[in-house]
Amino acid sequence: MKVPFLDLKSQYQQIKMEIDREIQSVIDSCAFINGPATKNYEKNFAQYCGVKYAVGVANGTDALHLAIRAIGIGKGDEAITAPNTFIATTEAITLAGATPVFVDIHPATYNIDVSKIEAKITAKTKAIIPVHLFGQPADMAPILNLAKKYDLKVIEDACQAHGALYHGNRVGSFGDVACFSFYPGKNLGAYGDGGAVVSNDEEIARKVARLADHGSLVKYQHDVEGVNSRLDSIQAAILNVKLNYLDQWNERRRNNAYLYNEFLKDVEGVITPAELENTKSVFHLYVIQVENRDELMIKLKEEGIGTGIHYPKALHQQPAYEYMGLKAGSFPVAEQCVSRYLSLPMFPELTEPMIKTVCDAIKKYVA
């Protein structure tokens, strides 16, 4: 049995009638940009996250960049984040003119190690940007306490965690502002690029909406220079349909993760993901750690099993950040994790026999 890493087609087949109808209705209306479909989706997505405002933007990277700018972080400022995230997190900081500062991750949760943040706070620190990596909420309570103590803003990078719960509330509802990506492979994915910024702060939401539309809230009145970063109506209409299924799809991801955990629990040399107490991860990715990762990946591929590595290097190990001068050993936990991570097939439509196939193959080659 072949097991793909990701299968977007089978999900489309389930909802094809609804999706096709909604796409056609946007085309019939010809309201392609800033039309009712986008407004409607913004309202529904805000409600889903448990916040007052959502602003659709062109992608998750722009969501981060515009949120950082809207909150007033820029030149000379520092923003703290984890080194094992996707580069979009730090690109957004740099693009806004600020400097990313890394804090190592927790060895069990793979999210920022909250016990190591305080030591990195300086007079220039203006924000903490926790990333809810792989769908698991970062430990928000201590982060919010530190932010309060040092008067910092909190910007959630929730691009991998649509619908995840921390102490009963959805991610995206904790920070001053939070950012989502609707890249097709994300838990809530469009059929192209898309993103959103959510907040309970009307002023921040207004500023993001203005920056995203050429610094303008009233046609041809440009209060500031912005960018062109809008969520187009066709993507919004698709997301509106898919939002209704998100909880059910996330629940299936969680069940799949528990099946993996069960089948792999006695396999020596395989570390399965932990879930923080009082949180509900939405398993955007199911990531194990193994010593012989690269070989295992090749063997699984030979058996028709797709896997991925998220991500092969910590950001300070990337050529783009060589200028920071952060040597090997700067973030030992993140460095060790990225050398051992392997992402197994994970999507809602994955079946138990598929998961069993993957785990049996792993058992054959790990030992």
Ligand X SMILES: *Cc1c(COP(=O)(O)O)cnc(C)c1O
Residue 179 or 354 having the CB closest to ligand X: 179
Contact between 195 and ligand X by CB under 6 A: the answer reads: yes
Angle subtended at Cα 348 by Cα 344 and Cα 353, rounded to the nearest 5 degrees: 65
| Other Cβ atoms closer than 10 A to 39 | 14
- DSSP string over 163-224: T-EETTEETTSSSSEEEEE--TTSSS--SS--EEEEES-HHHHHHHHHHHBTTEEETTEESS
Find the DSSP H helices in the chain: 8-29, 36-49, 60-70, 88-95, 140-150, 202-212, 233-243, 246-264, 293-302, 332-340, 352-365
Tell me the residue number closest to ligand X, measured at CB: 60
Residue 153 or 361 having the CB closest to ligand X: 153
Tell me which of 157, 176, 213, 275 binds ligand X, using CB under 6 A.
157
Give the per-residue contact string, 81-120, with ligand X (x = CB under 6 A; - = no).
----xx-xx-------------------------------
83 with 315: CB under 8 angstroms? yes
Residue 86 or 263 having the CB closest to ligand X: 86
Q: Which stretch binds ligand X (CB under 6 A): 108-116, 148-156, 157-165, 314-322?
A: 157-165
Site for ligand X in 51-80 (CB under 6 A): 59-61
333 with 106: CB under 8 angstroms? yes
Contact between 160 and ligand X by CB under 6 A: the answer reads: yes
Tokens of 280: 């509900």
Q: Which stretch binds ligand X (CB under 6 A): 100-108, 155-163, 226-234, 235-243?
A: 155-163
R_g of the chain computed on alpha carbons:
20
Tell me which of 183, 249, 283, 341 binds ligand X, using CB under 6 A.
183
Please tell me the distance from the alpha carbon of residue 193 to that of residue 159, in angstroms, as a whole number: 12
> Residue 43's Cα: distance from chain center in Å?
21
Q: Which stretch binds ligand X (CB under 6 A): 9-17, 153-161, 214-222, 227-235?
A: 153-161
Give the per-residue contact string, 123-142, with ligand X (x = CB under 6 A; - = no).
--------x-----------
Tell me which of 38, 90, 111, 181 binds ligand X, using CB under 6 A.
181
Footprint on this chain of ligand X (rule: CB under 6 A): 59-61, 85-86, 88-89, 131, 157, 159-160, 181, 183, 193, 195
